[in-house]
C-alpha cells in the first residue's frame, strides 16, 4: 500500500500537543505524524535517537533549539538533529517526519 490516509482520530495527546500518527509499514525507516498545538509544546525535550523534521502546514510560532530561538510560519521546514534539546511555541499544525521512527521512550523531558 503506497498511499496512507490520515487517521481519523488522534493517536496521542500530551503537554499541549496532539497528534495523528500514520501507520508504520514494513521496513519503514521514518515515522510520520501530524502535530497540532494551540500554544506549543509545554515542556523542553531531548530527543536521543531521532532526527526530527517539522514542516509547518499552517500557523506561526517559534522553536527554541539548544538555546537558539527562531521564528517559523507555514511553508517552513524546521530540522532538529538527534541529541538537541528543543521546545516550540505558537499555534501550529505540522507534519513531523522522524528518522528512525519516534517512540516516547527515546526522549527525555528536561522541564
**Cβ 21 vs Cβ 33: under 8 Å:** yes
Q: In the chain, where do the E strands start and end?
A: 12-14, 17-21, 31-37, 45-47, 51-65, 68-73, 77-80, 85-99, 107-109
Residue pLDDT, tens place only, 61-79: 999 999 999 999 999 999 9
d(CA 65, CA 87): 7
Q: Which domain holds residue 56?
A: 19-109
Assigned domain for 8 exists: no
Residue pLDDT, tens place only, 9-65: 998 888 889 999 998 776 689 999 999 999 999 889 888 889 999 999 999 999 999
Looking at per-residue pLDDT, the higher value among 110 and 8 belongs to 8
- How many structural domains does the chain have? 1
d(CA 51, CA 80): 6
CATH number of the domain residue 59 falls in: 2.60.120.10
- pTM here? 0.91
Amino acid at each position: 500500500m503506497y498511499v496512507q490516509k490520515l487517521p481519523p482520530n488522534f493517536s496521542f495527546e500530551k503537554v499541549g500537543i496532539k497528534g495523528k500518527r500514520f501507520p508504520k509499514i514494513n521496513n519503514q525507516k521514518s515515522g510520520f505524524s501530524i502535530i497540532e498545538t494551540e500554544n506549543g509544546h509545554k515542556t523542553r525535550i531531548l530527543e536521543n535517537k531521532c532526527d526530527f523534521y517539522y514542516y509547518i502546514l499552517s500557523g506561526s510560532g517559534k522553536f527554541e533549539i539548544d538555546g537558539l530561538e527562531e521564528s517559523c510560519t507555514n511553508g517552513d521546514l524546521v530540522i532538529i538533529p538527534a541529541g538537541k534539546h528543543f521546545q516550540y511555541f505558537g499555534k501550529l499544525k505540522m507534519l513531523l517526519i522522524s528518522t528512525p521512527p519516534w517512540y516516547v521512550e527515546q526522549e527525555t523531558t528536561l522541564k
